[in-house]
Chain A
């Protein structure tokens, strides 16, 4: 029984089949040969890019850059935008809710360039304090980088307001959508996000593939990160000129098989209506929340109304590791620990939580089994 969907999703058969099909029917390196197979594979790869463009409603497909995942996307921005445009004492605003992947790349940039990190605090419900955020915005702020949805608490952040406030001061905004894109429709054009990043494996897709969406103008201004094949126009030992978007940021052979798989995952997800997905996940969340709260001594962390289908909790004094081990023995997979978001745990003064996260293939019967397990473990530890 799998309730660790916020860590990674199980893959629909159509996704797996699409990848097997590449390897067995038309595998060939993309954008390279003049031969038939290469053309078929390249077309499938570029078609996946267009599917992603439409999925997030980007203006152009060349604004969709393939990376290995959210982490690499953020590191790409830190190492290109950050290296080229941020200088000593410039400020980057992140939040207390961030996953380590949206903290550490900026700290590394801070250590290299002397930039300053500012942190938007959260309240006891796990919501960002927007007034505090607005007061952090200044002439020194050069970038705002925040999660769309908190991986540890499930909070859906008001990214539209966050972007509007930053844009009022001409500050670009990066949104980490790793925990968002599979839960509700994301429209980067409507949000006016400057960068939007997410991973394939949390979107019913394969591992090793992710996306950096960036506005064309910004991406064009940014220097490339990795050097190599495909990202160049011409190379002599004296001078290299770089290829255009998106290839400038896709050095080397990309994981085109996973990219094609991701395209298929998007086909799968969008074969359902967003209303149905949102309603069903909300139903699971509300059902699980109500049932869990009835367990004696159970406390939920992240209690905002506006949250995704993620529940972080602790029961009495039971350590999350103990709860996780016992649930595992019962065949129930949940995540335990700090969820790569240690500042969130510090904020609540806890070592970690038990996190159950639901996807569209989960059921209420599974939630009942979780509750039964939690109750039983609670009795053992009493």
Chain B
């Protein structure tokens, strides 16, 4: 699946909720079920410090594709982290660098990407792209 196909799939999944409470319950469920973050990666250099919540992000390159794992101390943040990983992980650096992340706006969670929220998510997306850029440079070098 391409990045956009995955985004469209998430938009579809979220379209069934007409009540914010159901939507957030689903987001909490997604957050709670995010696994795969290796404790050895819970280190200072992977930490994205927000004023409100914290995010740990690790990226690895395998066969020309970037794989992310992440965690957060707040579940709602973690739910969005999980969605971002689902969309971005497993793609080539160029695809990640060119990606237009429209799904967050479409599923009505744009407010969580506002810098004023200070929850680490804006910096997380930046950091995901930084990984892609670093791996791209490495591959070309």
Q: Which residues of A contact B (CB under 8 A)?
A: 318-322, 324-326, 329, 336-338, 351-352, 380-381
Query: Which residue of chain B lies nearest to A340 when distances are taken between CB atoms in the complex?
Result: B51
Q: Are B28 and A319 in contact (CB under 8 A)?
A: no
Chain B neighbourhood of A329, CB < 8 A: 20-21, 24
Chain B neighbourhood of A319, CB < 8 A: 53, 73-75
Q: Which B residues, 1 to 48, have Cβ-Cβ distances below 8 Å to chain A? A: 20-21, 24-25, 28
In the docked arrangement, what's the CA distance between A380 and B51, Å? 24
Chain A neighbourhood of B25, CB < 8 A: 380
Q: Are B28 and A321 in contact (CB under 8 A)?
A: no
- Given contacts A319-B75, A322-B28, A352-B52, 13 further A-B pairs with CB under 8 A are A318-B75, A319-B74, A321-B53, A321-B77, A322-B75, A322-B77, A325-B24, A325-B76, A329-B20, A329-B24, A351-B54, A380-B21, A380-B28
> Which of A320, A322, A336 is packed against the most chain B CB atoms within 10 Å?
A322
Chain A neighbourhood of B54, CB < 8 A: 351
Chain A neighbourhood of B73, CB < 8 A: 319, 351
Q: Are B53 and A381 in contact (CB under 8 A)?
A: no
Chain A neighbourhood of B69, CB < 8 A: none
B123 to chain A minimum Cβ distance, whole angstroms, is 15
In the docked arrangement, what's the CA distance between A325 and B75, Å? 11
Q: Decide yes or no: A337 and B51 within 8 Å by CB, A319-B73, A321-B77, A322-B74 being known contacts.
A: yes
The residue from A336, A380, A381 contacting B52, defined by CB atoms under 8 A apart: A336
Q: Are A321 and B20 in contact (CB under 8 A)?
A: no
In the docked arrangement, what's the CA distance between A254 and B119, Å? 36
In the docked arrangement, what's the CA distance between A93 and B28, Å? 44
B96 to chain A minimum Cβ distance, whole angstroms, is 27
- Interface residues contributed by chain B, number (CB under 8 Å): 16
Q: How many contacting A-B pairs (Cβ < 8 A)?
A: 40
Query: Which residue of chain A lies nearest to B77 when distances are taken between CB atoms in the complex?
Result: A321
Q: Are B20 and A324 in contact (CB under 8 A)?
A: no
In the docked arrangement, what's the CA distance between A107 and B75, Å? 35
> Which of A321, A329, A337, A352 is packed against the most chain B CB atoms within 10 Å?
A321
In the docked arrangement, what's the CA distance between A174 and B75, Å? 41
Chain B neighbourhood of A324, CB < 8 A: 52
A235 to chain B minimum Cβ distance, whole angstroms, is 43
A326 to chain B minimum Cβ distance, whole angstroms, is 7
B137 to chain A minimum Cβ distance, whole angstroms, is 34
Chain B neighbourhood of A352, CB < 8 A: 52
Q: Are A321 and B52 in contact (CB under 8 A)?
A: yes
In the docked arrangement, what's the CA distance between A318 and B21, Å? 16
Q: Are A337 and B52 in contact (CB under 8 A)?
A: yes
B88 to chain A minimum Cβ distance, whole angstroms, is 22
Query: Which residue of chain A lies nearest to B112 when distances are taken between CB atoms in the complex?
Result: A325
In the docked arrangement, what's the CA distance between A324 and B77, Å? 12
Q: Are B76 and A322 in contact (CB under 8 A)?
A: yes
In the docked arrangement, what's the CA distance between A319 and B75, Å? 7
Chain B neighbourhood of A318, CB < 8 A: 75
Q: Are B24 and A326 in contact (CB under 8 A)?
A: yes
Q: Are B24 and A321 in contact (CB under 8 A)?
A: no
In the docked arrangement, what's the CA distance between A380 and B54, Å? 22
B122 to chain A minimum Cβ distance, whole angstroms, is 14
Chain A neighbourhood of B76, CB < 8 A: 321-322, 325-326
Q: Decide yes or no: A381 and B28 within 8 Å by CB, A321-B119, A336-B52, A352-B52 being known contacts.
A: yes
B91 to chain A minimum Cβ distance, whole angstroms, is 29
Give the 8 A-B CB pairs with smallest separation, nearest first: A319-B74, A321-B74, A321-B53, A321-B52, A322-B76, A337-B52, A322-B74, A325-B76
A325 to chain B minimum Cβ distance, whole angstroms, is 5
In the docked arrangement, what's the CA distance between A148 and B43, Å? 38
In the docked arrangement, what's the CA distance between A380 and B28, Å? 9
B117 to chain A minimum Cβ distance, whole angstroms, is 9
